[in-house]
Amino acid sequence: MTPRERRAETAYRKGLQAGNSGHPAVAAKWLHAGLAELGWHDEANGSGEELPEEHRPRAALLLISLAFMESERGRVGYGLRLMDQAEHYAAPADRGRVVAQRGLLLSRTGRWQESLAQLEAAETLLGKDRAQLATLLLNRGVLRLDTA
């Protein structure tokens, strides 16, 4: 791992810690810092052309987390745009995480049918990752309770 990748990983962990502690604005700052270490600078890299290929899978994971933190801050539209970028960069093994997270963000905008479709599609993509699958099933259950 290069020094830049280590700094990005540290920022990612600090961002997750801040987000899990109820501080989405602090989390977003850390996640933006981690993405900058990888060569991503907000929407300037929307096409993915400038972000080095070797950093794209890690950037996707940071973008997934950043999208959630931004939605926690009331910026769901921005979070959905970040999810589009995450999907572009994600490794095949991480596609389920992208789809599941997009489903969660769509539910926050009242787009229930789109959300449910994403959450159902994510189930097969997540494979045997029990933690991710448990989160998905809880989110889908809450959506069904809210819309029943």
- Number of residues that this document lists for the chain: 148
pLDDT in tens, 101-145: 999 999 888 898 999 999 999 988 988 888 888 988 888 888 888
- Name the band, by pLDDT with cuts 50, 70 and 90, for residue 48: very low
Give residue 110's pLDDT.
87
Burial of 74: CB neighbours in 10 Å, binned 0-12, 13-18, 19+: exposed
Quote the pTM value.
0.87
pLDDT at residue 47 is higher than 70: no
SS3 (DSSP) at 73: coil
CA-nearest of 74, 69, 73, 81 to 27 is: 69
